[in-house]
A and B are shown apart, each in its own frame.
Chain A
């Protein structure tokens, strides 16, 4: 049967199991919106296209499914760029459908024309301009396949308006064949065997776990491996939740704001097992002096991640889950008990570092941000999805909230996008209507996408926003304090932010405020009991900083402590 381009797209999305479309309409995509009237998708109208992508991204991170976005041409498309780049840097599967002016006008600087395929080429895993309706269903099929397979990432499909209204026979391809794209999942058996040998020879091993473990759903295998071998685990920001944060072998996060023991353990280790991590500069500090005594095993699905920043001794290209599974199978034939016992001394050494210095703060005077975060953990017992913004709020959350399960932290790690967290929380709430979703925010970041309060209210999404309001762009202020002799240029928001309680109320949400430490728990309890969007303005100590801190470009063991 013949179908229009719009109908074909809807059929394709159905076949892909799409449930939700985060969208914002406009002229170029109206034919498709018209068809959406009868389509079985939840349609979430956001208030800014950037937020549509962040919401789809949050939905994807929380659920593991592909997030879907639909926007119009020109400004609609360009507004998605930050969202796309955010998803790209963190390897999140999102499909972005953009309207485009009709094919016969492309290149004419027509009204609302933007070369979005050109603009997003370096920040998508792949992108397409559909030039012929006969290619439409194949392209959509490929887009979803590429987004979710291998190292996941965003894929954009640009849809000229004439393609949406033309008709052709519809047939959904049964399978995808892209001759230039064949992700490797299995891992080389010889390399895996060599990894086992290296591991069993090590005396001071550390597992360095990144977001790849979460995207490959490899937590179970990771925990099993750690239980077998007793190897301590440190996680990157993206890896938090891959291994239970309160496990005795969790060292917490490493890197610029990592724990003392995690950074020391890496620097003193004789074997570093990198799992789905990419040796980002915020993790390694000064690269030449990173883990100087360690042999490095690197397991990653993306060959370009391997030996990009750090020379690796034993690379294994493959999916973390499968490779870990095979390592475990091989280890089952070995005397892992003796090995585990042999690591006693190493574990004690790490305990010693913990005794020398651990994360700390004192709840005196004004509300401390760490206190709020700890209370959120206590009250929810970790049964919550947390999203963060960027800055101090993000680092304190990473440090003080022990994430217990994968996909419970949504945060922009690679790009570091302020304004990510709130729309991402909305996306996660849509994926899990009955779970508690809390966005830990800053007074700066919240204002980058606060318009999404309207979306939360419209769809009655009971998202909670906990603003750690320090009256400044805290992380910028911290750098100015440390590295620019306290010249606080353009980093103060004191007295110039809106009243967040009134702002929430203006949108029809609930606004609460806590100014005293005693109010923190009761305010959180109240917020958590309300089945509506709630914004909580925690007026916190404006001088609080994130410690420890390794200044950019310094070796990991050069930590500023307090």
Chain B
């Protein structure tokens, strides 16, 4: 089962290595990871997407909590949450496909942020389903390059997901 885990960690060097090392050392899977500073510059927030059965996820969460610089761990599966990912995708175009690419971008509320002789670069933001859908449509047209930010997520409602 897929889980989205949000953590607050001390904003200090080496924390990312500790977390990555924990996942690789214990054979846990990381589907995506994103990290950046919060409003409090001493704290960073991380969103980790991982997969595993209940026992594995229980271990993942306990092991994360055991790391000294990890301040808080929240498994968003227990809550309603929103998630987004941004991608930049460079699509090959020919005179015949240029319009179609434009249309697909428009349907997914993507933006063309760069135009080459034979390419469009599109920026799209969305949840997993939306991103999968647009990539599914663009793939047959020829994707030359793809970068993804990894997912970020947050609980719905007025409470903060990671309230300390």
Contacts and interface: CB of A to CB of B under 8 A. Distances in A.
A516 interface: no
Contact of A180 (B58, B59, B62, B71): B71
A121 B21 contact: yes
A122 B21 contact: yes
Given A121-B17, A121-B21, A303 B65 contact: yes
A419 B123 CA distance: 59
A121 B18 contact: yes
Contacts of A307: 55, 58
Interface in A208-222: none
Contacts of A306: 62
B10 A180 contact: yes
Given A118-B17, A121-B18, A122-B25, A180 B68 contact: yes
A308 B69 CA distance: 22
Interface string A130-170: 01000000000000001000000000000000000000000
Contacts of A302: 66
Interface in B56-114: 58-59, 62-63, 65-72
Interface string B1-44: 00000000110011001100110010000000000000000000
A117 B62 contact: no
A1 interface: no
A126 B68 contact: yes
B55 A304 contact: no
B63 to A, nearest CB: 5
Contacts of A337: none
Contacts of B13: 129, 131
Interface in A103-142: 117-118, 121-122, 125-126, 129, 131
Contact of A303 (B10, B22, B62): B62
A129 B14 CA distance: 10
A182 to B, nearest CB: 10
A306 B62 CA distance: 10
A362 interface: no
A303 B60 CA distance: 11
Contacts of B9: 180
A179 B14 CA distance: 17
B18 A304 contact: no
B25 to A, nearest CB: 5
Contacts of A304: 59, 62-63, 66
A440 B114 CA distance: 73
A89 to B, nearest CB: 14
Nearest to A303: B62
Contacts of B71: 179-180
Given A117-B14, A304-B62, A307-B58, A180 B21 contact: no
B108 to A, nearest CB: 39
Interface string A248-259: 000000000000
Given A304-B63, A307-B58, A308-B59, A180 B69 contact: yes
Contacts of B164: 179
A304 B60 CA distance: 9
Contacts of A117: 14
Nearest to B70: A180
A118 B17 CA distance: 8
Contacts of A118: 17
Contacts of A181: 68
B124 to A, nearest CB: 35
A308 B21 CA distance: 19
A306 B55 CA distance: 11
A178 interface: yes
A111 B42 CA distance: 33
B41 to A, nearest CB: 15
A528 B69 CA distance: 49
A146 B58 CA distance: 24
A176 to B, nearest CB: 11
B14 A178 contact: no
Nearest to A123: B25
B68 A178 contact: yes
Interface in A305-326: 306-308, 311
Nearest to B58: A307
A180 B67 contact: yes
A303 B66 contact: yes
Given A121-B21, A180-B68, A311-B55, 6 more contacts: A125-B68, A146-B68, A179-B10, A303-B66, A304-B62, A304-B63
7 closest A-B pairs by CB: A304-B62, A180-B71, A126-B68, A303-B62, A181-B68, A180-B70, A122-B25
19 contacts: A117-B14, A118-B17, A121-B14, A121-B17, A121-B21, A125-B68, A126-B68, A146-B68, A179-B10, A180-B10, A180-B67, A180-B71, A180-B72, A303-B62, A304-B59, A304-B62, A304-B63, A307-B55, A311-B55
Interface of B: 9-10, 13-14, 17-18, 21-22, 25, 55, 58-59, 62-63, 65-72, 164
